[in-house]
Amino acid sequence: MQLSLNEDQTQVLDFIDSLAKPYATVPMHDVSLALESAELDEALVENGFLDVMAVEELGPVMAALVIEKLARLPFAVEAAASAMVRPLIDPELPRPLCLMEEGKARKPLRFLRPGATVVVVGPSGVKSFITTEDMIAPAQEDTLYGYPVAFLTSQPDSMTSHDVDVAEITRAWRVAMAAEAAGLLGAALASTVTYVSERKQFGRPLATFQGMRHRLAEDQVMTNTAYWMAMRAAGTGSQADAAMALHHAQEAAKRVCYDYHQFLGGMGMTLEHPLHLWTYRLKLLTAELGGRGAQGLAAAEALWG
C-alpha cells in the first residue's frame, strides 16, 4: 500500500482546501445543531469533486480522500454516498443521496428532503426512488444529530430497480462511512487538542498534564488507524477490509467521543464550542449498517465464509 499521496491526489485535496476555506470555521455566534451550505455543495458538484471515482487516474482511493477531507469541515456535506456509492449504481441519480437498509425505514436518514434520492439496499436488491414532501417527517428541532436528518414515513409502491451486486454496493457503503468517520475523528481530535492546549488550569495548559496526554495519545492512535484502514479498504476493494475499516471507525467513535467531551469540561456540554458538530455526526454513524457487531460478523464471513 502506497502511504504517500501522489501528485494528482495532492492537487485535488489542495483544490478542495482552497474551495472549502470559507467553510472551515463556524460562523460567529452560531450555535446550530447542524450546519449545511448549499453554496459549498454546488461548488463541489460544479468542480467535479464528487465524481473523482470515475476518473481512471484517481479512482476509489481518491474518492475516499475527498470524503475524509470534507468530513473534517464543521459543515455537513453529502459526499460519502455520492462520491463512493452513486457511481456504482447510476452516476445520474439526483442528489442528495440517502442510503437505507431494506426494512429500516424508521431510522433517521441523513440529508433526506423532498427531491432526494433514497437508495434501498437489501436482500431483494438495490432500488431507488425520488422523495416527495408527503413522504417525509422532520426530526425534532432540539434533537442532536449533527446532520440535517428527517424520517421517511412512506415509500412508493414501485421503485427503480438497479442491476448491481448488493454485496458490492454494501462494501462501497462501508468504505464511504469509514472514510467519513475518519475525517470526523480527525477534526474532533484537532478541535480538542486546540482547546486543551489553550485552556489553562493551575497555571499551565491542560494538555501538559500527563494523564490527559496519555489518553490523547491513545485517541490519536485510534484516529490514525481509522484513516489508514479506510484508505486500505478503498484501495483493495476487499469485503473484509471494508467491514473491518467500518468496525474500527465505529469502535473508535464510541471510545474517543467520551474523552473529548470530558476534556472540554463544561464547554463540552454546550453548543458554544463546535465539538458537537463532529462528535454527534459520529454518534449517528456508529449505528450505520447494523453497528460494530454487524461489521464484525461481515468481516468474519468475508474472511472465513
Going along the chain from its start, the domains and CATH numbers come out as 166-304 (1.20.140.10)
> What pTM was computed for the model?
0.94
* Residue whose C-alpha cell reads 443521496 in the numeric block: 97
Question: Which is higher by pLDDT, 242 or 107?
Answer: 242
Mean pLDDT across 279-291: 93
- Is residue 100 within 8 Å of 80, Cβ to Cβ? no
HSE, side-chain direction, 13 A CA sphere, residue 247:
16
**What's 265's DSSP letter?**
G
Mean pLDDT across 277-284: 93
For residues 278 and 145, what is the distance between their CA atoms, to the nearest angstrom? 10
Model pLDDT, residue 171:
98
- Is residue 102 within 8 Å of 121, Cβ to Cβ? yes
pLDDT tens readout for residues 98-142: 999 998 877 899 999 999 999 999 999 999 999 999 999 988 776
- Is residue 116 within 8 Å of 132, Cβ to Cβ? no
**How many Cβ atoms from other residues are within 10 Å of residue 169's Cβ?**
20
3-state secondary structure of 78: coil
pLDDT tens readout for residues 23-61: 999 887 777 888 999 999 999 999 999 999 998 889 999
